[in-house]
Each structure stands twice: as C-alpha cells, then as structure tokens.
Amino acid sequence: MPTIHTMPERCAEKLRGRDRRSQNLSTKLTREEEMLIEAAASASGKTPSEWARDVVLREAKSPSDSVSTETLLTEIVGLQLFLTNVLSPIACGEQMSPDQYQELMRHVKANKHEAAREVIAQHVAEKRGQSHD
C-alpha cells in the first residue's frame, strides 16, 4: 500500500514568524494622491500597500510629542543662517556688537522658517530634475 505524505498544517496564527495579518484599513484618495503614494512606494522598493502599512505603523508608534523632520530642518537651517552671518564678519577681522548680535538673532528667528521652505523646495526641484533625466 502506498504511503501518502501530507504537508504539515501551518499554524493559523503565525506566518513567516509573524502574526497573520487579517485586519484591513482603507481610505479614499484622489488620483494625484494615489500617484504620489505609488511613486513613494516605488522609490522605496515596496508595493503601495507595504509602504502605506510601514508609514501608518511608524506614525502610530511614534510619540505624539516627537519633533517632526520639518521642525528639525528648520532649526538646522536657522543654525546655518546664524553661523553664516556670524562667521563671515569674524573671518574678515570685524567684531560684532551686542546690539548687532541681538539683531542677528531676531533676523534668524524671523527668517528660518522661510529659508527652510526654500531648502525643501530646492531639494524637491532637484529630485524632480533627476527623475526626468
């Protein structure tokens, strides 16, 4: 009598070392939003579903009081503005008065957000230019 070999049943609870995914989360998108997500997913080598899952879970796991990337970039650009405006006169042998220093600080605080937006816009334009080459 022939022996029949059966495949062992897979545990319904685990798949590839993780819990089986059985819950859905959906949303409606405009065509432009869909294209944006598809491009981001493709750039990271993932399907839109995998990419969206990763983004949603990363955001869900991050503390609500965490600092955004945009905030960090704004502060970095502020430091760049400050250093550029302080080091340039010093490199030329000039000194800065306390009033000049305070004015510089006011200038940096007032302009760092716009300067950061310009840096982001420049980066996006460069990225678009590279993708069209």
Q: What is the pLDDT of residue 61?
A: 87
The model scores a pTM over 0.85 = no
Cα–Cα distance measured from residue 41 to residue 46, given in angstroms and rounded to the nearest whole number:
5
User: What's residue 11's pLDDT?
Assistant: 53
Whether residue 18 is contained in a domain is answered as no
CA 8 – CA 28 distance, rounded (Å):
40
| Confidence tier at 22 by pLDDT (50, 70, 90) | confident
Q: pLDDT category, 62, cuts 50, 70, 90?
A: confident
Residues 71 and 48 both lie in one domain: no
Distance between CA atoms of residues 52 and 24, nearest Å: 12
Is residue 39 domain-shared with residue 77, that is, in the same domain?
Answer: no
- Residue 99 CA to residue 119 CA, distance in Å, equals 29
The answer to whether the CB of 101 falls within 8 A of the CB of 90 is no
Total domains in the chain come to: 2
Domain identity same for 71 and 128: yes
Q: Residues 34, 87: one domain?
A: no
Residue 73 belongs to what domain range? Answer: 67-133
Residue 103 lies in a domain: yes
Query: Do 85 and 58 share a structural domain?
Result: no
CA-CA distance, 8 to 11, in Å (whole number)? 9
120 and 108 part of one domain: yes
User: Do residues 133 and 73 both lie within one domain?
Assistant: yes
Task: Identify whether the C-beta of residue 67 lies closer than 8 Å to the C-beta of residue 61.
Answer: no
State the pLDDT at residue 1: 47
74 and 35, same structural domain?
Answer: no
60 with 75, same domain?
Answer: no
